[in-house]
Amino acid sequence: MCPACKRRMRLARVAPRAQDLEERTFECSTCERVEKVSFPVDPMKTDAVGWLAGELRPPSK
C-alpha cells in the first residue's frame, strides 16, 4: 500500500543486489510515488528448487 495515498502500489522492477538481497521497486499509479525495498533471498526457495526436486537424475552406471 502506498504510504502517501493508501492505494495499492504495483511491482515495477526486481533487481539483484548483494549476494542474498534483491531490490524491489514499487510504483503508485495514483500519486506516482516510488518505493524501493530490499528483500533477503533464499536461493533454496526460488524456482530452481523445482529442478533439484524433479525427476531428472544422472545416468546410472
Predicted pLDDT of residue 5: 95
For residue 31, what pLDDT is reported?
95
Q: What is the pLDDT of residue 51?
A: 56
Contact assessment for residue 17 and residue 23, using Cβ atoms and an 8 Å cutoff = yes
Residue of 11 and 61 predicted with greater confidence: 11
- The amino acid that residue 35 corresponds to is E
| pLDDT for the residue numbered 29 | 93
Q: From CA 44, how far away is CA 20, in angstroms rounded?
A: 11
Dump pLDDT digits (tens) for 7-55.
999 999 999 887 788 999 999 999 999 999 998 887 666 555 555 566 6
pTM as predicted: 0.63
What one-letter code names the amino acid at 19?
Q
